[in-house]
Amino acid sequence: MPEALRLLVSFALSLTAVAFLVPLAIRIARSTGFLDLPAGYKGHDRATPYLGGAAVLAAAAIAILVLGAEDSRFGALLIWTFVMFVVGTVDDRFNLDPLPRLLIEVIAGAALWNYGLGWSVFGSDVANIAVTIFWVVGIVNAFNLMDNMDGAAASVAGVSTTGVAMAAIIGGDVTLAVIAMAVAGACCGFLPFNLSKPSRQFLGDGGSMPLGFFVAGAVMAAPMSSSLGWAGLLAAAPVAGLPILDTVLVVISRRRGGRPILSGGRDHLTHRLRTILGSPRLVALSLATVQATLCVAVIGLSRLGQIPVSIACALFICGGAAAIWALEVTPLTRLVWIDPELRADSVAPDQSAA
């Protein structure tokens, strides 16, 4: 089968499969009482089924298996993505403490490095495994935090995995591209259910955690990362640029406001954009557009070598800092979108935080 056709089939197959799997997951969630109940800062007004992550991952798995893309090179990535799904689903059900989640994320990062899927940009194994673990833990939790509004995490994950597929094709790794497109198709197919009014199903930690882990691992495995050496680290960040920006913004916002960092609130990038744009659908569209721009820019520049990538990433960092200043520091805008009820003594624990 031609490479382009394999990519198209992978995307289309998972896109179609998730349309059948989401209603099934909804029925299972309702019959087992696996629902997200309205409480505190949460914006929905009725009990909404979880297990969206189960439908997304199952749809991607179907496409991967049908196309024979379950290459042993990526066995650790796929297995630990499933482990993240299990951990996230248990967290959705029982609200795990952050420590065991963090420990499993650290082990997962170490496992990727052990199987040759981590960073190898320094001369020291200790440095490489440390940066691999930091990257994995950071991206998993960045996507987890990004899942705070309908369509946000799924849209960004869909674009990020498409970016990984582009980088893999350019580098000649068709198998990784097929796997990434399967995940992208499943994310896109989930969006109509997640963005319906009201939302029919939530992605949950059982979706955001494995998607974040897959993006983290797939970026490290992409040929672009290995060919750029130390600059591969810089090129990797924009592929998950918006979740990283959201995490930094939330940390700064809560530190400035005297609120616990591991707390819930409507101070995320998505909430601020909704104040401006008016609806989750427009927020998801804007997030996808910006994330796509970041992916295309950094993948294009990566073909020019380390120096252009380094300059571009420096500009990205400056742009991110400017965005945080505009969203957080400007007094007038803070009055518009920071909920005055969100104080250190009134927030509930954020189940999406880690």
| pLDDT at residue number 136 | 97
Residue showing tokens 């400007």: 330
Residue 238, pLDDT above cutoff 80: yes
Q: What is the spatial distance between Cα 207 and Cα 85, in angstroms, rounded to a whole number? A: 6
Nearest residue to 192 via CA among 93, 291, 55:
55
Residue 191, pLDDT above cutoff 90: yes
Residue 10, pLDDT above cutoff 90: yes
Residue 349, pLDDT above cutoff 70: no
Reported confidence tier of residue 90, pLDDT bands at 50, 70, 90:
very high
Structure tokens at 149: 């509004």
Q: What is the spatial distance between Cα 149 and Cα 254, in angstroms, rounded to a whole number? A: 18
Nearest residue to 341 via CA among 38, 41, 37, 39:
41
State the helix-helix crossing angle for 98-114 and 205-221, rounded to 10 degrees.
Answer: 30
Nearest residue to 253 via CA among 342, 141, 315, 346:
342
| pLDDT at residue number 354 | 40
Cβ-Cβ contacts under 8 Å for 289 (sequence gap 6 or more): none
Cβ-Cβ contacts under 8 Å for 183 (sequence gap 6 or more): 14, 56, 60, 157, 158, 161, 211, 214
Average pLDDT over residues 253-258: 83
Reported confidence tier of residue 295, pLDDT bands at 50, 70, 90:
very high
| pLDDT at residue number 177 | 95
Reported confidence tier of residue 69, pLDDT bands at 50, 70, 90:
confident
